[in-house]
Amino acid sequence: MDTTIDLKQVADLSPFELKDFLIKTASRKCECYMLNAGRGNPNFLATEPRYGFLRFLEFALAESERSFSYMPEGVGGFPDKEEIERRFDIFTDGRMGQPGIAFIRNAVSYVRDQLGLPAGEFIYEMSEGILGCMYPVPDRMLRLSEKIVAQYIRKEMIASEPFTGGFDLFAVEGGTAAMSYIFTTLKENKLLRPGDSIALGMPIFSPYIDIPKLHDYDLKEVAINADRDRGWQYPDKELDKLLDPSVKAFFLVNPSNPPSVRMSDKSLRHLGEIVKKRPDLIILTDDVYGTFADNFTSIFAVCPQNTILVYSFSKYFGATGWRLGVIATHEDNILDRAIAALPEESLKELDQRYTSISTDPRHMKFIDRLVADSRTVALNHTAGLSTPAQVQMVLLALFALMDEAEAYKTAMKRVIRRRKAALYRHVPVRPTQSPEDVDYYHVLDMEVLGRQMYEQAFIDWLIAKLKPNEFLFALAEKAQVVLLPEAGFGDPHHAARVSLANLKETDYARIGCSLYDLMQDYYEEYKKSGKEAGTAE
């Protein structure tokens, strides 16, 4: 292969680092037209809640100027709670027709009439928050903001599943911050100790593989493998590995990344049964893609007491730059109970850790420990997601809650699914489609595709010949197409992850075409090699 990249040298890189080498290869010819379907960053975004943010900021600024009218120009004060609702009505009345005005008016009435929350307090919380003039108080999440975002999580993640009791939210800087905080707090509170085993639902977003191996954590990994030939579902016998009491926690991404498939209802039930036998099992579910699935139910809905839920606004609303995510835990959960049941010696140690911020450290909830640990405990008083970011999060959540006809959701699903169809437009193979498919990503597996187009002897030859990542570099070199290796997500095949989120429909047709061309090239090579070696087929 005509490439200057040493495949051995890059073999251990995470998919995201390897991508930079692929981009270099793809862009070597300067007049090239590179297609980078490596990133999960969407190329669509929700505009209406952003207009809402703009108008709310205008209102809040008017409030600020009003309160300090005797000050020199350019200096404002804080919004005033008294009669703020009336002033909000006057402000919006005078601007009907401007984009975003109807949205924030409807949002206020939705909060008042559908959620039963005090409208004036809501307008005040949004106004003060959007001006960013106060530290986040409470640090875990602004009060009404938490209630509103909880409604959104309930709608999208729990839906019609029977669910009793409430849950707490911690607003964080995206799903990735959530991951890093959760790993830290589980470790600091001795819920995960060096040498413990954790199970990972494979294939998985690669940081979940890399973090536990870090020296800080030193955790043993048990793979719960999804079955590629059964629509990437987890067979019961794989899930049954969780019955082993030495497995302390189960981390999974649902819907998965990269296969982008939600866990089947049958597997959800099976996991529910396992948890009855393993009431101490900690589950962490990263449901970033749940909102793109049909009929989604989170494991959080099925096993609320055992589960830490991570959700991010990044993908669904095209808001990766905002850094918006939440961590949810049920008010009655096994994490708090496991901490309470630690040996006295460990509890004394933890009293020490949290004594500077709590008079009763033993009763600090796990989720509040997450908040404290996110600022190395000592800086707890400045913890929390920036308040303007919380306001944007609330407006995104309200936008989805108010969309009862699900116009946005339908549009989002249509966009990604049309791109998947485009990917196969020029390939003589039809993609499979199951009710669990989400299609935010798509896995192109050389072996699976090849089997549908050529004889098995060629596939065997190809698999034996290809070095890890070789076909990715060939695609980058020949067609300027950049895909992420699927192997880095924990699965050892010659497969690539195509993000269906970040390019135009026609680009996906070209990607499919390029892959097919590459296969044809390999096939030519195979036939030639057969002749030279004199082997008959």
Site of interaction with ligand PLP (CB under 6 A): 40, 174-176, 205, 253, 257, 286, 288, 312, 314-315, 320, 325
CB of 107: closest distance to ligand PLP in angstroms?
Answer: 23
Nearer to ligand PLP, 53 or 205 (CB): 205
CB of 356: closest distance to ligand PLP in angstroms?
Answer: 29
Nearer to ligand PLP, 131 or 299 (CB): 299
The token duo for 478 is 């020949």
What distance in Å separates the CA atoms of residue 297 and residue 479, rounded to the nearest whole number? 39
3-class DSSP state of 425: coil
Strand segments, DSSP code E, in 71-129 are none
CB of 373: closest distance to ligand PLP in angstroms?
Answer: 18
CB of 323: closest distance to ligand PLP in angstroms?
Answer: 7
Please, what is the angle between helix 84-93 and helix 119-131, to 10°?
A: 80
Q: Cα 22 to the chain's mean position, in Å? A: 24
Nearer to ligand PLP, 27 or 320 (CB): 320
CB of 309: closest distance to ligand PLP in angstroms?
Answer: 12
Nearer to ligand PLP, 318 or 450 (CB): 318
Nearer to ligand PLP, 316 or 471 (CB): 316
CB of 370: closest distance to ligand PLP in angstroms?
Answer: 16
What distance in Å separates the CA atoms of residue 25 and residue 302, rounded to the nearest whole number? 46
The token duo for 302 is 């099925």
Give the dihedral of Cα atoms 192, 154, 377, 384; nearest 10 deg: 150
Nearer to ligand PLP, 198 or 288 (CB): 288
CB of 537: closest distance to ligand PLP in angstroms?
Answer: 43
Nearer to ligand PLP, 40 or 136 (CB): 40
Nearer to ligand PLP, 315 or 330 (CB): 315
Long-range contacts of 142-146 (CB under 8 A, 24+ apart): 142/171, 142/387, 142/390, 144/111, 144/117, 144/394, 145/171, 145/390, 145/391, 145/393, 145/394, 146/171
CB of 162: closest distance to ligand PLP in angstroms?
Answer: 27
Tokens 């729990």: give the residue. Answer: 158
Nearer to ligand PLP, 42 or 450 (CB): 42
Nearer to ligand PLP, 128 or 286 (CB): 286
- Are 310 and 179 in contact, with CB atoms under 8 Å apart? yes
CB of 90: closest distance to ligand PLP in angstroms?
Answer: 37
SS3 content of the chain, % helix, strand, coil (to 5): 50, 10, 40
- Are 161 and 297 in contact, with CB atoms under 8 Å apart? yes
- 3-state SS track over 329-391: EECCCHHHHHHHCCCHHHHHHHHHHHCCCCCCHHHCCHHHHHHHHCCCCCCHHHCCCCHHHHH
3-class DSSP state of 3: coil
What distance in Å separates the CA atoms of residue 2 and residue 375, rounded to the nearest whole number? 49
CB of 308: closest distance to ligand PLP in angstroms?
Answer: 13
DSSP 437: B
The token duo for 62 is 């008017």
CB of 342: closest distance to ligand PLP in angstroms?
Answer: 29
Nearer to ligand PLP, 322 or 471 (CB): 322
Query: Is the preceding omega at residue 136 within 30 degrees of 0, hence cis?
Result: no
